[in-house]
Structure 1
Amino acid sequence: MTLADLLAALNAGETIPGGSPGHAVMHETSQEALRIAGELNAGYHPPARVRQLLAELTGRPVDETVTLFPPFTADFGKNIRLGARVFINSGCRFQDQGGISIGDDCLIGHNAVIATLQHGMQPSKRADLIPSPVILGRNVWLGANVTVLPGVTIGDDSVVGAGSVVTKDIPAGVIAVGSPARVIRALPT
């Protein structure tokens, strides 16, 4: 199985059985992501070099308006899509096998975690990996220490308060807080 085959399976929502050829490719790709993250986090780099390393990690161009403050880790890297004018603050961790799409003008606060994989619940299937994408619309703001769980979509212009755990979709134009995150009010238009 190639990386392209694995990405196609992940993006189709197919379960990747533990010990399978897809699982092996995922681990090989993760080793590359760890290497790149190690370089990214090893010391100061000017913004252009940070974007260059981020492009190497994701395997796609990164807009010159994207800002990332290390440290940053992604345990796969190849299934992250970043819009323009995205800001990712320090300490963020992306588990991106299932796909992470971040729209234009998003702000990601310190230590945010975005997870896109679940494991099989049945003990004999626990090593199986079940991908579900996370989608952040345009102009989403995740506060510090927010965790976004697999399969969640957050609508355009919404804000998720610091420390929240997002377990379900959040509509556009609202503020959501808590664990689990709940909408507390609409944003002014």
Structure 2
Amino acid sequence: MTIPLANLINAGTVHWTGDLPHQVDAIVAQASNNLIDFNQTTTETKRRAILGQLFGAPLDQATVLNPPFQTDFGAHTFIGKHVFINRDCFFVDLGGVYIEDNALIGPRVMLISVGHHEDPAYRRDLVLKSVRIKQGAWLGANVTVLPGVTVGEHAIVGAGAVVTKNVPANTVVAGVPAKVLRTIQQ
């Protein structure tokens, strides 16, 4: 049975059986090939074309995504306008990664939309929960955002933070796990 992979975004628990592993593996293999090309290409026009194939839509002309970049899937990453993504980021996007307009993503950020069950009997199954980076948010270097988390509008996440819960809009968070330090004064 073929599962429409678009239905997997934010799907919750997905049993890793039947045709699903083969479907996902084929897309991951194609994404890997695209990323090898992207990360070795020096021409901006070619890089943008490769990212368009990877994400299934062209990037906004004002959006910057610097190599090297890695993603396991690619087709479930959605990037808004005037976004900046620094070097060496990794997106695990099978569950959906959404980055809204004017967001800033620091180097070595990981956005993770896939987890696994605690129960060992079901550990191979996937738990898919989208990650959302709202408009104008800024993620510092080496931030990790875990499945199901939304980083609110204009929020700032300090370098090295591990974000396990939603971040309110207009706040500064940092730490492991990330905690609210203060509200941003407008």
Per-residue deviation, residues 108-155 of structure 1 (Å, max 9, x unmatched): 000000000011222222211110000011001000000000000011
2:72 corresponds to 1:72: no
Counterpart for residue 100 of structure 2 = 103
Check conservation: 1:17, 1:23, Cα contact below 8 A: no
Structure 2 counterparts to residues 7-22 of structure 1, below 5 A? 7-8=6-7, 10-22=8-20
- Supply the distance in 2 between the matched residues of 1:166 and 1:45 (Cα, whole angstroms): 34
Whichever residue aligns with residue 23 of structure 1, its letter is: P
- Supply the distance in 2 between the matched residues of 1:51 and 1:149 (Cα, whole angstroms): 27
Structure 1 runs not aligned, ≥5 long? none
Identity of aligned residues (%): 38
Whichever residue aligns with residue 59 of structure 1, its letter is: G
TM-score where L is the length of structure 2: 0.95
TM-score where L is the length of structure 1: 0.94
Counterpart for residue 132 of structure 1 = 129
Aligned pairs, number: 186
- Supply the distance in 1 between the matched residues of 2:26 and 2:160 (Cα, whole angstroms): 32
Structure 2 runs not aligned, ≥5 long? none
Whichever residue aligns with residue 116 of structure 1, its letter is: S
**1:15 is paired with a residue of what secondary structure?**
strand
**RMSD over equivalenced CA pairs, Å:** 1.3
Q: Deviation at 1:14? A: 4.1
Counterpart for residue 37 of structure 1 = 35
Counterpart for residue 120 of structure 1 = 117
Counterpart for residue 5 of structure 2 = 6
Check conservation: 1:16, 1:23, Cα contact below 8 A: no
- Supply the distance in 2 between the matched residues of 1:16 and 1:23 (Cα, whole angstroms): 11
Q: Deviation at 1:17? A: 1.6
Per-residue deviation, residues 86-117 of structure 1 (Å, max 9, x unmatched): 01100000000000000000110000000000
Runs (4+) of structure 1 exceeding 6 A deviation are: none
